[in-house]
Amino acid sequence: MPRGLAIETSGRAGSLAITEDGRVLAEEQFSHGLRHAAGIVPIIDRMCTSRGKPADIEEIYVSAGPGSFTGLRVGITVAKTLAFATGALVIAVPSVDVLARNAPPGWQNLIIVLDAKRDQIFTASFVNRNGEPVPREPAHLGSLQAMLARTPRPVHLLGEGIPHHEKFIPKDDPRVLLTEPGTWQARASIVGELGALLARDGQVADPMRLTPIYIRKPEAEEKFEARNAGNSR
């Protein structure tokens, strides 16, 4: 039974979980203030030591995006560093798949809403098939208006971007339903559960090539490229 470490840093708050054969043994949340990989390592060391030792970790499951650019960089950096140090396998788990597991009982259609600024969202949609979220549209950059226009009703909205895009949520359509704010944050325990399934399927990442699922370039990089383009004219 492989011992696993799950890393979730795609949102405003992060979390870590220790798993064994996909079963969660321990989970701990940490604040958004941990913006550097070095801040997470002591937490991982303490959690692993309480359940054995860090060298016992055989698989590392990391929430790969889309989401917070800084958070994703931190999570991926930690996963790759630990993989190189311990020889553990790395499994990249799409963050939208993790969030979809937070949908409320009885849901039928689901739209993930993550703020991408400029009235855009990082989004994906799912349909409920026998209690399991099945992707209808994979993660992409879009707008809430467009997603609502082509998603069947009733539809639940889920994600930390909801407050930033309230003006696009129709107030006169009772079939557009908001999920509870407590469900908008992805959890490391779900990253571990999904990661273990992907590992059993042989979907293991190459740590040398692993990069976050950004969907689009970070804003700072876009501005830098725009400045350079202007200077070259």
Which pLDDT band holds residue 232 (cuts at 50, 70, 90)? low
Which positions ≥6 away from 83 have C-beta within 8 Å? Answer: 60, 89, 90, 207
Q: Which of 21-25, 61-65, 91-95, 143-147 has the lowest mean pLDDT?
A: 21-25
Spatial CB neighbours of 10, under 8 Å, sequence gap ≥ 6: 63, 64, 65, 66, 67, 68, 71, 72, 75, 95, 98, 186
Predicted confidence at residue 214, as pLDDT, reads 95
User: What secondary structure does DSSP assign to 89-104, as a single string?
Assistant: EEEEE-HHHHHHTTPP
Residue 216 β-bridge partners:
none
Task: Place 118 in a pLDDT band, splitting at 50, 70 and 90.
Answer: very high
| Residues found in the chain | 233
Tokens of 152: 């069947």
> What pLDDT score was predicted for residue 10?
95
Q: Report pTM.
A: 0.91
Helix 69-86 to helix 37-50 angle, to the nearest 10 degrees? 50
> Do residues 191 and 98 touch, judged by C-beta distance below 8 A?
yes
Q: If you classify domain 103-183 with CATH, what class do you get?
A: alpha beta
Q: What is the reported pLDDT for 224?
A: 44
* Average pLDDT, integer, range 100-106: 97
**Domain segments of the chain: what residues?**
3-95+186-219, 103-183
Are 107 and 71 in contact by the 8 Å Cβ rule? The answer is: no
- Check residue 202 and report its DSSP letter: T
Q: Provide the token pair at 209.
A: 């090539």
Rounded mean pLDDT of 70-92? 94
pLDDT tens digit string along 5-47? 999 999 988 999 999 987 899 999 987 666 677 788 888 989 9
* pLDDT tens readout for residues 58-75: 999 999 999 999 999 999
Same fold, 3-95+186-219 and 103-183: yes
Q: Are 136 and 127 in contact (CB under 8 A)?
A: yes
Task: Looking at the structure, give the CATH architecture of the domain made up of residues 3-95+186-219.
Answer: 2-Layer Sandwich (3.30)
